[in-house]
Amino acid sequence: MARKDGRGDLLAGDGIHRVVVKLGSSTLTHPRRGLREEVIGEVAEQVASLIESRGLSFVVVSSGAIASGRKLLGLTGRPSLAQKQAAAAVGQPVLMEAWSRALGRRGLRTGQVLLTHEDFADRRRYVNAKTTFEMLLASGIVPIVNENDTVATAEIRMGDNDQLAALVAHLVGADLLVLMTDSDGLFTADPHKDPGAVRIPLLDRVDEAALGRAHGTREGSPGSGGMSSKLKAARLASSLGVPAVIIRGDIERRMEDVLAGKDVGTYVPPALGVRPSGRKLWIAAAGRPRGTLTIDEGAARVLREDGRSLLPAGITAVSGDFRPGDVVAILDPEGRVVARGVSGWPADEVTRAMGRRTADLGDLAERGLSPEVIHRDDLTLLAGDEPEGGSP
């Protein structure tokens, strides 16, 4: 039955062709028993059914390698970075074998894709990753994605697989991001502790109020993100034009319910009317920015409403040591992320010119500078609400 908010029309109609589904460690593993293969089997069954009945293609972002490896290595307590990397090396083959076995029973083949932050930050690697996904999907392969935890250090980690899933969703041009967790969406309170908590079926905007309702990882859970992480991933996907839904991952046929337009989970619609170009999508999610530009309210309004280029006159502060071609974050006077863009100027030139009219800056061409610090073709608006750091 179609919902008044259009959710049923979108999910049950012809607008969904490619889906990214993410399963966290809290869904896939048990603190004592290790990998929950019954959950993998249930999700594999739904993926196969939806491929057969609706011709969809799927990318699975799967946590669980470190949790599986820790059990096999007998690690207890809080592991060090080296122990996590060793656990990932041991657990990743086990995780892939489980997915390959579950999907193989249903006639589907799998391929492993391990990614790091640099695969999104570097434009060439980004394009290469996109090409690999397209080849796998065109060949009928179900890619199983994870962060490459065996080599990722604390400084270059994504943070969690929820963030990775949102980035993968835009990388592969997904029509929907499904975030599976141990709670059937966002509730007015933690449903594990408050029996009176009520599910919130629709979030038009993931704002601070919504994040304030998010509960963290359950005590004893192997997961690392919690509901707050799911909401931030949904917000990122939404800002890139990809709708997202948060559902419980260990309920039978729950994903099929979502794609039938049923009222389950928490749905976050896309924030943009038209999905940006591939370049603008890369700008929006190209890893950590190399610096930040704070702009005045007038400049923020012009960027949001008119889609114009960023000129030096509207800039009030600069941070980071960036160069032309680096991605920078653009903040409004309250420190909220307005946009990201590829700077045409180095940081020192922006610092000298900020707050001044272009006409007063002399011959920019002689210094190899364009009139715009960031041209509108190199700028992507975002629906962020929280500050974003400068150089990594």
Q: Pick one of 3.40.1160.10, 2.130.10.10, 3.40.640.10, 2.20.25.90 as the CATH number of 7-278.
A: 3.40.1160.10
Report the 3 state secondary structure along the chain: CCCCCCHHHHHHCCCCCEEEEEECHHHHEECCCEECHHHHHHHHHHHHHHHHHHCCEEEEEECCHHHHHHHHHCCCCCCCHHHHHHHHHHHHHHHHHHHHHHHHCCCCEEEEEEECCHHHHCHHHHHHHHHHHHHHHHCCEEEEEEECCCCCCCCCCCCCHHHHHHHHHHHCCCCEEEEEECCCCCECCCCCCCCCCCECCECCCCCHHHHHHCCCCCCCCCCCCHHHHHHHHHHHHHHCCCCEEEEECCCCCHHHHHHCCCCCCEEECCCCCCCCCHHHHHHHCCCCCCCEEEECHHHHHHHHHHCCCECHHHEEEEECCCCCCCEEEEECCCCCEEEEEECCCCHHHHHHHCCCCHHHCCCHHHHCCCCCCECHHHEEECCCCCCCCCCC
pTM over 0.75: yes
All CATH 2.30.130.10 domain ranges of the chain, comma separated, are: 288-381
| pLDDT in 10s for each residue of the chain, 392 residues | 334 455 655 565 568 999 999 998 888 887 767 788 899 999 999 999 999 999 999 999 998 888 888 888 888 778 788 888 888 889 899 999 999 999 999 999 999 999 987 787 777 888 899 999 999 999 999 999 998 877 665 544 555 789 899 989 988 999 999 999 988 899 988 877 888 889 999 998 888 888 888 865 444 444 445 888 899 899 888 888 899 999 999 889 999 999 999 999 999 998 765 566 667 767 776 667 889 999 999 999 988 888 789 999 999 999 999 999 888 999 999 998 889 999 999 999 999 999 999 888 877 877 888 899 999 888 888 755 444 443 33
All CATH 3.40.1160.10 domain ranges of the chain, comma separated, are: 7-278
Q: Does domain 288-381 have CATH number 2.30.130.10?
A: yes
